[in-house]
Structure 1
Amino acid sequence: MGIDLNFDANREKVGEENGVAVWGPVDPPERLGVHGTHVAVDYDACVADGACLEDCPVDVFTWVDTPGHPESDRKVEPTREDQCIDCMLCVDICPVDAIDVDASRQ
């Protein structure tokens, strides 16, 4: 199952990590929520194949450690989501639909 496209309405913002908004529920290490707002990554769906990080033309993503998560021990975080050019490549390339980019959420 991919990211909830209405996460900002359906989830509560529970804090920030590395300057990136985190939307709950969060219960580490199994549930890590959605990270980001304009560029959002569902950490619970992300399998960390790295395609978005490798292919992003403006380097929006960085690796962060998520030890103990059932899908992977690291995730891509939209650390520089303010640099996003809305090309949607990350959305198109994600094999599990864990990413959403929405220009109305900034």
Structure 2
Amino acid sequence: MAIDPSFDESREVVDSHNGHDVWGPVDEPETLGIHGTHVAVDFDVCIEDGACVEDCPVDVFEWVDTPGHPESERKADPVNEIQCIDCMLCVDVCPVDAIDVDSSR
């Protein structure tokens, strides 16, 4: 299941992590929510493929450990989402559609 592109309307910010918002619900380790706002990664969908981390031309993403999560034990965290240039490459290469980039957010 892909990230909900209107998550900012249907979810609430429940925390912050590495300088970005975390949109709930969160119930660790199984439910981790969506990390980021402009560049949003659904941690519950992310499978640690790594294409976004490798292909991002401005290094928006860094790996973060998520032990015990059923999809993968590492996620691509948008810790540098402020650097995003809206190229959409991360959205295009993600095999599970876990990423949304929205310049209006």
Given the two structures, how large is their TM-score scaled by the length of structure 2?
0.99
Write the deviation string for residues 69-100 of structure 1: whole angstroms up to 9, x where unpaired. 00111101000000000000000000000000
- Distance in 1 between residues matched to 2:7 and 2:48, nearest whole Å: 20
Q: Percent identity?
A: 73
2:72 alignment partner, SS class = coil
Is the counterpart of residue 50 in structure 1 residue 50 in structure 2? yes
The match for 2:68 is: 68
Given the two structures, how large is their TM-score scaled by the length of structure 1?
0.98
The match for 2:77 is: 77
The match for 2:20 is: 20
Q: How far 1:67 sits from its partner (Å)?
A: 0.4
Structure 2: gaps spanning 5 or more residues: none
The match for 2:8 is: 8
- Pairwise CA RMSD: 0.4
Is the counterpart of residue 94 in structure 1 residue 94 in structure 2? yes
Moved over 6 A (4+): none
Count residues with an aligned counterpart: 105
Write the deviation string for residues 43-79 of structure 1: whole angstroms up to 9, x where unpaired. 0000011000000000000000100000111101000
